[in-house]
Every structure is written in C-alpha cells, then in structure tokens.
Structure 1
C-alpha cells in the first residue's frame, strides 16, 4: 500500500485514495481476533507514522475505534450504535421481520435474513429459536458465498463475470463445496439452483440441520440478499423440503415486493 499522503491514483484523486487508507484501519481491526497496538497496525498497513496517527485520531474521535492501555486498539462503541440504528432504519429488515416471524412459527426453526457484503454474505437479522440447535449463522457473522443455502442462493443470482472471478480466486474452495471442479460445472450447478428458485443444504454451516433459502431482490430486480429457514433435522423427504422451499420462496417474494413498493 502507498506510504505517502502525496501518493495518489490520478484517476481517482488524492482524497479518494486517502479515504480508502482510512477505511483500511477499520478493515485490519475487523479481521483481528484481538486488539492491535499502534506499531502492529503500522506494520500491517505500511502507512507513515504521521498518517496513521491522524487516521487513529479521526476514527477515535468518531467512536469507531477505541483503545485500552496495553491492550491496543479495537472497534469502538459507535459500531454497536450503528448496528442498532441499522436494525431500526433498514427497510429490508422492516419488510422481512413480520414475514420471518410467521415463517419461523409455521415451519418451526430459525429464520435468517442475509445480505451480500463484498464477496461474502452477512446475517443481518434472525427470528425464532430452537431448543435443539444453535444456528452458526448468527447476526453479524459472515460466510463465503458458496457456504450454506443462505449464501449459495445469492451466488446463483450473480452475474457470470462475478462468478468467474470468484472461481479464479477460490477454485479449490469451490471444488470442496461440491459446486464443481470446473467453471462450467460451477455455472451449471448455479443455473439449476437459479431455475428452482431455492436452495436446500444439510449440515453445511450448522451440523444436524437443513437450511432452505430463497433470494430477495431489490427495486431493479438485482439480488440483495436471501431469506431462509433452518430446520433442526436432516434426511428430510423431498416432498417436505419442496413444501417448505415453496413457502420460503413465497415469503422472499413478499419481502422483495415490499421493497419495491417503497420506491
């Protein structure tokens, strides 16, 4: 990464480049399992000391990062505040919450609402509870696009160019997921999921459960996330899986239509 504030990409401008470096401080803290000292961040980010001091000051004053003596820097309390505000303001969560409550009650299990985030999928809301399992797809936890029904149904809706790039970057992981050992095989597998309109997988993310998911689309008919139900059993009969899947598809369509109606 650049180590001078004067260095910039002419096509994007100095301010854009500086903002990306500022955000990179949050990125490195997000990926760290524990706090990082200033010198540790300096080594990872390869910024000048004065630049990192300025970024740390800005982020600290905004409450986005915080520090404790001898423990280093971590994400700050503002992140929790933003999470609360997102749950209160996100139109997708508003539209999905009552549908998810009913889906969880009628089918039995845990309903999840997930969003695509960069090249991964993030659970943004959860409804329902099971005494037999605890879903590993907890709110705020991210998973790869090819891992689990809630993720894979989103992957199936992405443009072929995106799928091709992801396959080039994670060929072995795609093969291990069972989607295919060649790009053509992966595209064929995703086409089947897309045609069905739902995806069901057993013990992919949480052992001993079945996840059944359908895609949620925005006002431009682009995939924005997924709605899914996690049922605390496996080896379900095909007719039972299809019955639940059609219900999940219907619920996802209600959410998609509710978003479109807000235009």
Structure 2
C-alpha cells in the first residue's frame, strides 16, 4: 500500500496520478487499489481532485513541517550553515544519505549571484557533486560493493576507474584529505566543497557543502574554505553526538 506513494516522484514531475495510471504501473486489481487509496486518503497521505487524479495529501505537508522544525540534524546544522553562507557569499547545503542516493534536506543562501536547483527533497546520485562524494567516500564497504556491482559503468563514467579496486583507491585519498571539491560537475560555473557529517557512532549520515562561483575561488582560498567547511561539518557531528 505504501508503495503507491512512490508513484509521486518529483524527479519525474509526477504531481498527480490517475487510477488508470496506477493500475497500469502497479498491476493491482481495482478492488485492491480502491481499498489502498481509501486508507491513504483517510490518513491524509493522499488527496484527490475530480478529473485530475490523486496527489500527495495535507498530512505530508504537516510531516514536512515537523521535520524542518524538529529534525536534530537540521537544527544542529542551521546556525553554522547561515554563518558559512554569509561569510563566503555562497550557498550552503545539508545533504543526507538516502539508500544509495543523496537527498538535500536544508539550504541556506548568502548570495544572489548563483542559484542552486538542489533544493530540499531532491535526490541525486552518489557519484556526482561534492555533497555526494563526501558521503560516498565513507560508505561502508559492503554497501560500496553492492553499489559498484549495480552500476560499474556509472562509476567508470564518473572517473572512478574500471574496477572496484580503482574506486576504493580514489575514495581512500578523499578520506585522507577529509574534504571533497568539484568544479562544474553538476552545475557549470560553480565549485562545490563538501565535508562528511557523522552520527554518534561515527557512521556517515550526510554532508555539509558550500557552493561558490568559480570566480571567487583561488588555489589558496580553496584550501582555506575547505578547512572552514570541514570544521563546520565537525561541529554538526559533535552536536549530534552530544544530543
């Protein structure tokens, strides 16, 4: 039943879905489908409009508000993100590991020169962008093996070599440095700098990143900014641990 919610995937711009589309994509009998829809609608997770179809319901909006105001990770990160974005006139992003992808959960902007389309609730691959790579570098070995086994070609296209051994070697270098930077990997004309965020058990849960226009970056300042981003990510990790 909860699988019906996966049909409303923002990445595919699926804002509304009709019963016929649900029946075609899921293959449920209509009696089962109607029963599931009634349950989800009664719970406020779905709502419908005549001649339009079903869409996510008001309960989803309520839950999103509770997450934004009560999530320990966001509450720990917001102050340092505001300071980071203002200090370097960039966009600070807080991303969370989500299955074998990365999801943006909060954004703070300190500039009008650039705009980030990587907004709250959007998912991205673990293989592209500093925010993603800072998480990928600390992925547990068994999950990295699984991910590489599912998409070896994508690893190669992203510049991680042709074998799992090649990918591990590159990720080991990133861990030793403690931060990741990419230039134009996702958005042309910008540089992303990211550092990992850990939970109380020192397991990777997300990343803190700063996006800046290429014109603001020089070799020396990149190191300085990366040091600051890494420090702020460490503050978030420690705050979560103490919580």
Query: What TM-score range do you get, normalising by the shorter chain?
Result: over 0.9
What residue number does 1:101 align with? 82
1:20-42 deviations in whole A, cap 9, x for unaligned? xx121001222652322112111
Which SS does the other structure have where 1:126 is aligned? strand
1:244 to 225, 230, 239: 225
What residue number does 2:13 align with? 33
Unaligned runs of 5+ in 1: 1-21
Matches within 5 A, 1:202-213: 202-213=183-194
What residue number does 1:10 align with? none
Aligned equivalents of 1:147 and 1:62: distance in 2? 37
What residue number does 1:23 align with? 2
Question: Mean Cα displacement is larger for which, 157-166 or 171-180?
Answer: 171-180
TM-aligned CA deviation for residue 140 of structure 1:
1.3
The aligned length equals 241
Aligned equivalents of 2:114 and 2:88: distance in 1? 15
Q: Given the two structures, how large is their TM-score scaled by the length of structure 1?
A: 0.87
1:144-179 deviations in whole A, cap 9, x for unaligned? 111100011101101121111111212222111112
Aligned equivalents of 1:193 and 1:137: distance in 2? 23
Aligned equivalents of 1:30 and 1:93: distance in 2? 23
Q: Is the 8 A contact 1:105 1:128 kept in 2?
A: yes
Q: Given the two structures, how large is their TM-score scaled by the length of structure 2?
A: 0.94
What residue number does 1:86 align with? 67
Aligned equivalents of 2:235 and 2:214: distance in 1? 26
Matched, 1:146 2:143: no
What residue number does 2:112 align with? 131
Aligned equivalents of 1:233 and 1:130: distance in 2? 14
